[in-house]
Amino acid sequence: MKRIVTMLFLVVAVGVNAQQKIGHVNSQRLLDTLASYKEAGKKLEQKRTEEITKYQTLEKAFQAEYNRLMEEAPEMPKLMLEQEQQKLMVKQQELENFEPEMTRKLQMYQQQYMEPILERTQKAIAIVADRKKLNYIFDETVSLYFKGGIDCTAEVLSELLKLDAEAMKMK
């Protein structure tokens, strides 16, 4: 009886498995082909450069102020020295707060620039999956191993280029 139940289970499992259609895409190839992805990367790099420049400017100003204070400190009255040290501590705090704020801004920019591209990619994948009646489409760039399945990269790329062209026209 146990053998019959086990065999029945295997037959059902194989039958269910046979109905599952699986495809795969190379998401990196899809993204690297898109002009909008390259443009978003350039914009993001520009923002990163701007933020780093702002940080370096603040850092230089702080360092100059610190060096000036170290030179003038022996000749300053105690009250004036304490006030200058307070100002310096405020600048140091600004500098320390700038880095996490810069990281937050860059993450926000990345989301702003990349989210529409990823949405178009998902839409293109869904169109191809519906057309080919696929149950799953995996990203081969993050898979440890895959064998078989249908490579949908070219078809998804075609759909994605259409969607991307429409989106670029609307800008």
Residue 14 lies in a domain: no
Does a structural domain hold residue 13?
no
Whether residue 122 lies inside any domain: the answer is yes
Domain coverage including residue 165:
20-170
pLDDT value of residue 13: 42
pLDDT band for position 18 (50/70/90)?
low
Q: Please determine, for residue 35, whether its predicted confidence score (pLDDT) is greater than 60.
A: yes
In a domain, 64, yes or no: yes
Flag whether pLDDT at 40 surpasses 90: yes
Whether 2 is in a domain gets the answer no
Q: How many domains does the chain have?
A: 1
Model confidence pLDDT, tens digit, residues 71-130: 988 888 989 989 999 999 999 999 999 999 999 999 999 999 999 999 999 999 999 999
pLDDT at 10: 38
Q: What is the 3-state secondary structure (H, E, C) of 65-128?
A: HHHHHHHHHHHCCHHHHHHHHHHHHHHHHHHHHHHHHHHHHHHHHHHHHHHHHHHHHHHHHHHH
pLDDT band at 163 (very low <50, low <70, confident <90, very high): very high
Burial annotation 112-141 (CB, 10 A radius, 16+ → b, else e): ebbeebeebbeebbebbbeeeebeebeebe
Distances 103 to 12, 56, 62, 110, 118 between C-alpha atoms, Å = 52, 15, 20, 10, 21
The pTM for the full model equals 0.72
Residue 67 lies in a domain: yes
The verdict on residue 75 lying in a domain is yes
